[in-house]
């Protein structure tokens, strides 16, 4: 049986997201959850960069296009938050692009829009 990649870090992040959801509930815009999660990560001393701009390359050329994930956690994990009724393949593809652009292996998709509980998915590249 293989070990879960970055298990403890993922557990801490999910806990922070659950705290935000428990306090705020569902129905707010992503920007509100973004700010709440910034406060919660800071309170938990989890190092992060919010709205980092990721440069893209094509055949060793820098592109003008950039990706902006919601969070890069401790230079290890991408966190992308949503406020929708359900996660879908479009969001999963977005996360895979972020992972490819950063060469990181783990992403966490977090949805605060589902009524009754925070929804999250770990995506490993």
What separation in angstroms does the CA of 65 have from each of 49, 61, 80?
Answer: 19, 12, 19
- Residue 21 CA to residue 11 CA, distance in Å, equals 15
Report yes or no on 85 lying in a domain.
Answer: yes
Domain that holds residue 54: 26-124
φ, ψ dihedrals at 25, nearest 5° = 75, -165
Domain count, the chain: 1
Report yes or no on 20 lying in a domain.
Answer: no
CATH code at position 86: 3.90.320.10
Please give the share of the chain, as a percent, with pLDDT higher than 90.
74
pTM of the model: 0.91
Report yes or no on 9 lying in a domain.
Answer: no
Q: What is the pLDDT of residues 47-59, one digit of tens each?
A: 999 998 988 888 8
Report yes or no on 3 lying in a domain.
Answer: no
């Amino acid at each position: 049986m293989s070990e879960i990649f970055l298990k403890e870090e993922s557990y801490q992040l999910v806990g922070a997201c659950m705290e935000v959801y428990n306090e705020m509930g569902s129905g707010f815009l992503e920007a509100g959850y973004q700010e709440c999660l910034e406060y919660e990560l800071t309170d938990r001393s989890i190092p992060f960069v919010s709205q980092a701009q990721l440069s893209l390359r094509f055949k060793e050329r820098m592109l003008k296009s950039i990706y902006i994930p919601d969070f890069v956690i401790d230079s290890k994990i991408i966190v992308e938050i949503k406020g929708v009724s359900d996660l879908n393949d479009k969001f999963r593809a977005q996360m895979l692009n972020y992972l490819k652009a950063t060469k990181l292996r783990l992403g966490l998709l977090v949805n605060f829009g589902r009524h009754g509980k925070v929804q999250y998915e770990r995506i490993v590249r």
